[in-house]
Amino acid sequence: MSAILETHGLTKRFSSLVANDDIDLAVENGSTHSVIGPNGAGKSTLFNVITGMLKPSAGTVTFNGDDITGLPPHKVARHGLARSFQITDVFDGLTALENVRVAAQFGEAGPAAVWRSADRLSASRERARGILADIGLADRADQRASQFAYGDRRKLEIGITMATDPDLLMLDEPTAGMGREDTVSTVQLVQRLSEERGFTLMLIEHDLEIVMTISDTITVLQGGTVISEGSPEEVSADEEVQRAYLGGAEL
């Protein structure tokens, strides 16, 4: 496999604080790549720098062979990279269908598409309905997002990110705040969609059991630096990772 996403020497400083320090990363096309680490390790900052939410202090980001270093988020998205956030990011005043349709319009024609007449965007509407069916929310298409429980809001957000037809989907703690049943359901949903739609998956996840089960490759951050990377078996046996998480006990 070849890398769909690469970073070289990626660094982000906030004054004297170095949140990401000289990070080299390669995400293989078609894989599930997890980023883990203790609180404050720099995981979300890494996602924010890759997706253009923050500009790097040094280093480069390459996606599908294109240099996207420092591009604003909407231009990064146009390259085929989508992401979700730790806090659900949906339009509460819009229905589920409208939330997904707006993202689908952007994916088809760029930012200007959101101002076109909805009657001229029937393809976006039908695409949105198909995505809602995929994520199990077809019967709630006309309900406002504000009426959704937390687990369904997270599913809707995943649907929104999918609507741009990404090559790489980046999920920032997609199961945070969920009970066990919703956690398992969401993970199974993301895995199924990744296989059916053929996108690469990169995620930050706090649940180590999930990470060890679904990941092809795991990158471990601590203090803004990569302390380990490899298969779940390799990472779980790494003594430095064990010290970072459990004071030396094997994962």
Residue 76 lies in domain:
1-80+170-181+199-251
Indicate if the pLDDT at residue 183 is higher than 80.
yes
Give the pLDDT confidence score for residue 203 in this predicted structure.
93
- The whole-chain average pLDDT of the chain stands at 88
Indicate if the pLDDT at residue 27 is higher than 60.
yes
Pairing of strands 168-172, 200-204: parallel
What does residue 15 show for φ and ψ, rounded to 5 degrees?
60, -120
Distance CA 219, CA 107 (A): 30
Nearest C-alpha neighbor of 251 from the set 197, 223, 210, 217: 210
Residue 192 lies in a domain: no
Same domain flag for 15 and 60: yes
Q: With contact defined as beta carbons under 8 Å apart, do 250 and 237 qualify?
A: yes
Same domain flag for 71 and 177: yes
Same domain flag for 146 and 176: no
Distance CA 128, CA 205 (A): 27
Same domain flag for 177 and 69: yes
Residues 6+ apart with CB under 8 A from 181: none
Encoded tokens for 199: 């996108």
Residue 217 lies in a domain: yes
Same domain flag for 207 and 91: no
Residue 219 lies in a domain: yes
Residue 43 lies in a domain: yes
Mean pLDDT of 102-128: 69
Same domain flag for 48 and 95: no
Residue 218 lies in a domain: yes
Q: With contact defined as beta carbons under 8 Å apart, do 37 and 220 qualify?
A: yes
DSSP run (H or E) holding 223: none
Among all chains, which residue has been given the structure tokens 């994916």? 107
Distances (CA, A) of 18 to 41, 42, 58, 130, 204: 10, 9, 11, 43, 19
Mean pLDDT of 77-89: 78
Residue 4 lies in a domain: yes
Residue 135 lies in a domain: yes
Same domain flag for 108 and 56: no
Same domain flag for 109 and 141: yes
Q: How many structural domains is the chain composed of?
A: 2
Residue 187 lies in a domain: no
Give the pLDDT confidence score for residue 121 in this predicted structure.
67
Distance CA 163, CA 170 (A): 14
Distance CA 57, CA 72 (A): 15
DSSP run (H or E) holding 19: strand 17-28
Alpha helices by DSSP H, the chain: 43-50, 73-78, 96-109, 122-134, 150-162, 180-197, 208-214, 232-236, 239-246
Same domain flag for 67 and 108: no
Same domain flag for 9 and 66: yes
Same domain flag for 104 and 64: no
Same domain flag for 66 and 177: yes
- For 129-163, write each residue's pLDDT tens digit: 999 999 999 999 999 999 999 889 989 998 998 88
CATH number of residue 64's parent domain: 3.40.50.300
Domain boundary among 123, 141, 165: 165
Indicate if the pLDDT at residue 93 is higher than 80.
yes
Band of residue 103 on the pLDDT scale cut at 50, 70, 90: confident
- Hey, what amino acid is at 148? F
Indicate if the pLDDT at residue 18 is higher than 90.
yes
